[in-house]
């Protein structure tokens, strides 16, 4: 929606190569992409297209072979492990497919964990806002094993947002959820962008999920293969379909939508 000119995250000539020689796999091959601040962007593509690798590199979880990633003014590719860890702690948030809550902590302890690690005091008002928005008020003292999948993922979203990060990365956040819980989680992500002013980048292979985003970036064979603004499930499906037909035996062309 209210996108500004300066992107929250930007990648330039981003390349990631696994293996050597004959076993060499170019998971990402010179990707240039910007993600606007205050927007909800989805990354889509077929299996093995490199969308997960792109997310890992954008989030500073993995080292790029070449190219740069900027978070605001910070060049992630020059940071050492400790600086990178602190940056993830203070400036990024994560939502995982399998929730990844710590089973021995309560929901509240899980939410506050990033602040705990940083040794900073939680902003109580923000915590209450998040708990209210995500509807976790009744569940704060429960452990993950006592929560449903959708509730666990909402706790994970609260954990991702608690430190007011510049960008939240979500990797298939609805992959382990039934469609109702999935829809719930996606609306929460969208609300956190529209009402709380956050930036969310989400990887998904589900066109319906992608339709919740403001923009969809299509990726195939390690390259950007398309860009859809204000997507609907139909337009996303069409884009994916176009990729598939062009990916035929002779297909090498790039499509823009």
Partner 1 sequence: MLRLTLAQMRRSLGRLVAAGIAIAIGTAFVAATLLAGNVLTRTGYDAVTLQFGQADLVAQGPIDDATLTKARAVPGVQAAEPLTTGGVYLTAGNRSSYEMVLGVAADERLRSVGVSNGRTPSAHDEIALAPTTAERLGVAVGDTVSASYSVPPADPDAVDAQWEEKTAALRVVGLVDDPDGAWRQYGGVGLATTEDIRAWSAAGPDDPIATTLLVATADGSEQTREALATALPDTTVLTKDEAAARTISEFSQAGNVLVTVVLGFAAVALLVAALVIANTFQVLVAQRTRTLALLRCVGALRGQVRRSVVVEAAILGFGASAVGLLTGSALAQVALAVLNRSEIQAPLPATITLTWAAVLVPLVVGTLVTVLASLVPARAATRVSPVEALRPADAPEASSRAGRVRLVLSLLLAVGGGLALLGTALGAATGAADPMVWLGLGVLSGATSFVGVLIGAVLWVPAVVRVAGGLLQRAGSTARLAAANTVRNPRRTAATSTALLIGVTLVAMMSTGAATARTSLSRELSDRYAVDVQLSSYGEPVDAAAMDAARAAVAGVEGVREVQPVRTVQLLAGERQLEVVTMPDPRTLVRDERTISGLSEGRLVLPSSASVVARNDTPLTTTDGTPVRVTTAASNLGGSSALADTVTFDAIDPDAPVSGLWVRLDDGVNAANVSRDIQDVLPSGAPLGVESAAAERQGYEQVIDTMLAVVVGLLAVAVVIALVGVTNTLSLSVIERQRESATLRAIGLTRRQLRSSLAVEGALITGVGAALGVVLGLAYGWAGAATVFGSAGHLHLDVPWRDLTIVLAVALLAGLAASVLPARRATRTSPVAALAVD
Q: Which residues are at the interface with partner 1 (CB under 8 A)?
A: 52, 55-56, 59, 61-62, 81-82, 85-86, 88-90, 93-94, 96-98, 100, 102-105, 113-114, 116-119, 159-160, 171, 175-176
What minimum distance in Å lies between the beta carbon of 120 and partner 1? 10
CB of 176 to partner 1, least distance (A): 8
Comparing CB distances to partner 1, the nearer of 107 and 228 is 107
Cβ distance to partner 1 smaller for residue 28 or 36: 28
Is 175 or 233 the residue whose CB approaches partner 1 more closely? 175
R_g over Cα of the chain: 18
Dihedral sign, CA of 19, 25, 31, 36? negative
The minimum distance between CB 5 and partner 1, in angstroms, equals 29
Min dist. Cβ of residue 82 to partner 1 (A): 6
Distance CA 255, CA 35 (A): 20
Distance CA 22, CA 139 (A): 52
**Bridge partners (DSSP) listed for residue 93:** 168
Of 66 and 100, CB closest to partner 1? 100
- Asked if 41 and 200 count as a contact pair (C-beta separation under 8 A), the reply is yes
Contact 166, 135 (CB under 8 A): no
- The CB-of-115 to partner 1 minimum distance in angstroms stands at 9
Closer to partner 1 by Cβ: residue 73 or 81: 81
**E-strand stretches of the chain:** 7-18, 25-36, 40-44, 66-71, 74-75, 92-95, 167-171, 200-203, 215-220, 223-229
Cβ proximity to partner 1: between 56 and 139 the closer is 56
Name the minimum Å distance from CB 41 to partner 1: 18
Phi, psi dihedral angles at 117 (to 5 degrees): -65, -35
Alpha-carbon distance 250 to 255, whole Å? 15
């Amino acid at each position: 929606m209210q996108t500004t000119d300066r992107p929250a995250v930007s990648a330039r000539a981003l390349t990631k190569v696994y293996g050597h020689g004959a076993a060499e796999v170019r998971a990402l091959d010179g990707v240039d992409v910007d993600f606007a601040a205050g927007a909800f962007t989805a990354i889509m593509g077929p299996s093995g297209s490199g969308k997960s690798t792109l997310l890992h590199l954008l989030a500073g979880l993995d080292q790029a072979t070449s190219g740069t990633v900027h978070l605001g003014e910070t060049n992630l590719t020059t940071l050492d492990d400790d600086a990178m860890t602190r940056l993830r702690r203070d400036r990024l948030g994560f939502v995982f497919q399998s929730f990844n809550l710590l089973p021995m902590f309560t929901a509240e302890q899980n939410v506050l964990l990033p602040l705990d690690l940083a040794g900073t005091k939680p902003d109580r008002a923000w915590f209450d806002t998040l708990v209210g928005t995500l509807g976790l008020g009744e569940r704060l003292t429960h452990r993950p094993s006592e929560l449903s999948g959708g509730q666990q993922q909402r706790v994970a979203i609260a954990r991702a947002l608690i430190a007011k990060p510049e960008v939240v990365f979500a990797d298939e956040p609805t992959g382990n959820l039934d469609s109702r819980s999935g829809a719930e989680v996606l609306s929460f992500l969208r609300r956190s962008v529209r009402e709380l002013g956050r930036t969310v980048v989400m990887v998904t292979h589900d066109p319906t999920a992608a339709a919740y985003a403001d923009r969809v970036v299509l990726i195939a064979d390690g390259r950007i293969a398309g860009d859809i603004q204000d997507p609907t499930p139909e337009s996303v499906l069409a884009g994916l379909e176009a990729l598939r037909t062009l990916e035929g035996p002779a297909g090498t062309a790039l499509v823009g939508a």
